[in-house]
Chains A and B, each alone.
Chain A
Amino acid sequence: MPEYAVELKDVSKVFHSGSGGEEKVHAVKDINLIISAGEFFTLLGPSGCGKTTTLRLVAGFEVPSSGEVFIQNKAMSKIPPNLRPVNTVFQNYALFPHLNVEKNVAFGLAVKRVPKAERLQRTKEALGLVQLAEMGYRKPSQLSGGQQQRVALARALVNQPAVLLLDEPLGALDLKLRKAMQLELKQIQKQVGITFIYVTHDQEEALTMSDRIAVMSQGDILQVGDPVSLYERPATRFVADFIGESNFFTGMMKAIEKDIAQLEVGSEIVSVSCGIIKANIGDQVTFTVRPEKMMMTTNPAELDAIPGLEADVEEIVYIGTDTRYILRMSDKSTSVMRLQNTCIDDLRRYQKGDHVRVYWKTEDARIILD
C-alpha cells in the first residue's frame, strides 16, 4: 500500500448551532480525498463551502462526526493537534505578540526540547528561507503584513512537518504582494518538498500554485484535478462558473457519435463534445464555452454557412489586454466573447449593434452537469 500524505475517508462534520443545538449545519459531507506526499494541493471554494473545516479536521482542531482522517496512513481520530505531524499557517497569522520573531519561529522546537544549538541553527535557516534573516529581534507588531505572513510560514516550516496546512495565508495582503508571494510560496514548497494543503477562495491563486485542486461547494467536493483539466474540462456548472468565466447554453440532444454530440439549440444545430456526462438522445443538456474560445463573424457569406448561434453585439468593454463583447443571443440570454487585443486594429473589428454568428471548435464546447 503506497503511503499517502493525507487521506480522508467518508469524512463528515456536523456543527450544532442555535441555543439548544437543534440546528444542524453539515459543514463537510462524506468527503473522500487522497493527497500524495510532496503535492501542492488546494481546497478551492466560496466562503462557507467547508474548505476551512476540512483543513481543521486534518489539523485536529475539529473531530470528524463520522469517517476518518489518515496522515501518513495513521488514523488520526484519537490524536490531538499537538501530536500530529502537521503545522498550520493561520489566516490571521496568529503570531505570539509577546515573543520576538526568532522566539516565535523557535516556539515549536522549544516545545519539543530540541537542543539549543540546533534550535538556533534551524531557526536561522527558516528565517533565511523566508528572507527575514535580519528581523529576528523585532516584535511581530513591528512588522508589515507581508513580513508577519513570512514569519508565520517560517514558524510552521521550521518543524519540518509531514504536511503544511495553509488557511488563506495571503488573504490580507494587497494584490501585488499577493502575486509575488504566490510564486515564492510555490518555490519554497518545491525547495522543502513538504506536502502543502492550501485553502483559498481565489481561483486564480489556486490555478497559479497548485499541483491539484479540489473544488468544494456546500460541504461537497465537486471535482478534483490539476489546473489544466479543471479549467479545460469542468464537470459541473458550478466548477465551470467558479473557475474562470463561462457561457452556458442548453440544447436538446439529437445525435451522439463517439465523443461528439449534435445539439439542437433553438433552430440551430451545433456540435459539442460530451465530456464525461452520459446523456441520451432527446435529453435537454447544458454545455459551456469559455469566452476566449468563442469566435464570431459578421461576414455575410459565413453568417448562414457555419454551424453556430446568432447574436447581437450589445456592449463592448475594453479591458486593456482584451476586449469583452457582451452578446444578446437569439433566446435573449447574454453571453460573453473575449478577444485578445493583439494590435490596435482589433479594436475596430466589431461595432455595437452588429449582427454576428458565434461559433467554436467542437472540443472547446463541453456538456456539463447543470
Chain B
Amino acid sequence: MRTKVKISTGHLYFLILALLLYAPIFLLVIFSFNNSTQLVFPLKGFTLEWYRQLIQNRELLEAVRTSVLLATGSSIVATFLGTLGAIAITRYDFKAKGIFTGIAAMPLVIPYIILGVSLLILYNTIDIKLSAMAAGAAHVVISLPYALLIVSSRLVGFPNNLEEAAMDLGTSYWGALLRVTLPICSPALVAAFLICFTLSFDEFAIASFLVGTQPTLPVYLYSQLRFPNRLPLVVTLAAILMVVSMVVMFLAEWMRRAGAANTSRR
C-alpha cells in the first residue's frame, strides 16, 4: 500500500531555502574529490590528490596551527570574561548595568572590517607588532558578546540564590562559584567556547589586517586564490573548514540543549 505524500507550501519553502543554503557547500565537497583543476561539470573522476597535497603543504599546516592556537586562546579568554560578565549582569544589580551590557554586546553590530581597520590604526599608534596574538586580542572582543549571552541565558534559568544557599552551607563566595555556579553553567561554558572557537577559526576580515606574517587559515586560503592551479586546493580546504565548523556548531548546540534538558526545573 502506498501513502500519498502531500507537499505543502511550507515544505516547499523549506526545501528551496535549504537547497539555496547548502547546495553550494555540497558542491564544494564534491569538487574537492574531482580529478581536475577546472571547477566545471561533468566531473572527471574521483581523487584524493587534493587532500594529499593539502597535508603535505607546510605553509598550510603552519596556518592551521596558527588558527587552532589563536581560536583556542581567544575563545578561552572570551569564555572566561563572558562568564564573569554574565554573573555580573544576572546576579547583581548595579548602576550602569544597561550601559555595561550595551558596551559588551556592541561588537555584535560593528562591521568586522571597520573593527579590523581601526585596530590596525590603534596597534600602529601604540606600537604593537602585528601578529596572530594581536589578531587573537581582536577575536576576544568579537567573541565576548556570544559567550556573555550564552552563559547569562543559562544563569537566568536558575534561582539566583543558589550561591547564597551554598554560602549558607559553609562555602566561601568563590567556593560557591566553583561548587555550584560553574557546574550548573558547564554545558553553556562548553557551548560558548565552541561557538567562540568557530567564530575565531573562520574569521577573515579582522585577521587579514592584523596577523602580519602569521597568516591564519582563512587568510592563507584567500592568499592562495591568486594562483589558478591551486584553486582545487582552496576548494578542498574550504570544504574541510565548512564541515568542521558545522560539526562544532552542531556539537555546541547539542551540549547546550542536553544541559538544559538535564537540569531544567520541574
A residues sitting closer than 8 Å to B (CB atoms) are: 19-20, 59, 61, 80-83, 86-88, 90, 92, 94-98, 107-108, 111-112, 139, 141, 155-156, 159
**Contact size range, B:** 20 to 34
A88 touches B168 (CB 8 A): yes
B117 interface residue per 8 A CB criterion: no
CA distance A94 to B159 in the complex (A): 7
Given that A97-B263, A98-B183 are known contacts, is A19 also in contact with B168, CB under 8 Å in the complex? no
Partner of B169, one of A20, A80, A92, A111: A111
Partner of B168, one of A59, A97, A141: A59
Report the minimum CB–CB distance from B24 to chain A (whole Å): 42
A141 touches B162 (CB 8 A): no
Given that A87-B169, A111-B175 are known contacts, is A98 also in contact with B263, CB under 8 Å in the complex? yes
B161 touches A98 (CB 8 A): no
B123 interface residue per 8 A CB criterion: no
A82 touches B165 (CB 8 A): no
Given that A82-B172, A141-B263, A159-B169 are known contacts, is A98 also in contact with B164, CB under 8 Å in the complex? no
B167 touches A92 (CB 8 A): no
A94 touches B161 (CB 8 A): yes
Cross-chain pairs A/B with CB under 8 angstroms, 21 sampled: A19-B95, A80-B167, A81-B164, A81-B168, A82-B171, A83-B170, A90-B159, A90-B165, A92-B161, A94-B161, A95-B165, A96-B166, A97-B184, A98-B180, A98-B263, A107-B179, A111-B169, A111-B175, A139-B263, A155-B169, A159-B169
Closest to A159 in B: B169
B26 interface residue per 8 A CB criterion: no
Residues from chain B with Cβ under 8 Å of A156 in the complex? 168-169
Closest to A111 in B: B170
Residues from chain B with Cβ under 8 Å of A82 in the complex? 167-172, 175
Residues from chain B with Cβ under 8 Å of A87 in the complex? 168-169
CA distance A354 to B158 in the complex (A): 59
CA distance A25 to B167 in the complex (A): 26
B180 touches A96 (CB 8 A): yes
A108 touches B158 (CB 8 A): no
B264 interface residue per 8 A CB criterion: yes
B265 interface residue per 8 A CB criterion: yes
Residues from chain B with Cβ under 8 Å of A81 in the complex? 164, 167-168
Closest 10 CB pairs of A and B: A108-B169, A94-B165, A111-B170, A97-B263, A88-B168, A98-B183, A82-B167, A81-B167, A94-B161, A92-B159
Among A19, A80, A86, A88, chain B packs the most CB atoms within 10 A around the CB of: A88
Residues from chain B with Cβ under 8 Å of A159 in the complex? 169-170
Seed contacts A61-B164, A94-B161, A107-B179; 8 additional CB < 8 Å A-B pairs? A19-B95, A80-B167, A81-B164, A83-B170, A96-B165, A107-B166, A111-B170, A111-B175
Report the minimum CB–CB distance from A321 to chain B (whole Å): 36
A96 touches B162 (CB 8 A): yes
CA distance A141 to B157 in the complex (A): 13
Report the minimum CB–CB distance from A179 to chain B (whole Å): 23
